[in-house]
Amino acid sequence: MSAIGRVLYRTFFWSYERGSWQYDIAVILIVLFVVATPRGWFRDQPQVGEPATAGEVERLSEAGETQVYRVDARLLAPPERTPALQNDLHNAMQKARPDLSDGHFSIGRIEAIRDAEGNVIAYRVEIRR
């Protein structure tokens, strides 16, 4: 194996001893990559918005005991499970809307509203009193 091949092999498999100059160079290159990489290269970052205000929960319609609201997705952390999402939505709506502050409502249906790129920007929430 040539000298260049050996250096690439040892660098790729991280086989230099800690404290050697080769190890230090590899660490510096990794840190430079992390610091200098443009944010736009990685699109998997959560959408961070302004703090929740009352305007981020708006009533869309009302029919008898059923009401439909639009809840901005920035009020919630990215959901992993539906029960956690329902609980987070219930708490966010209770805090943001004075007419729901008593907490006596149940969430019937949740639909995600997506933008052109497919990111969730809000939720359409149907509640029952």
Query: Mind listing the pLDDT tens digit for each residue in 38-65?
Result: 877 776 655 555 544 545 778 888 888 8
The span from the CA of 55 to the CA of 76, in Å, is 15
Strand blocks (E) in the chain: 57-63, 66-72, 106-114, 120-128
Kindly give, in sequence order, each residue whose CB lies less than 8 Å from that of residue 52, ignoring residues fewer than 6 positions away: 72, 74, 75, 92, 95, 96
| Alpha carbons 27 and 21: distance in angstroms, whole number | 10
Domain spans of the chain?
3-41, 54-128
Report residue 31's pLDDT band, with 50, 70 and 90 as the boundaries: very high
State the pairing for strand pair 57-63/106-114.
unpaired
pTM above 0.75, yes or no: no
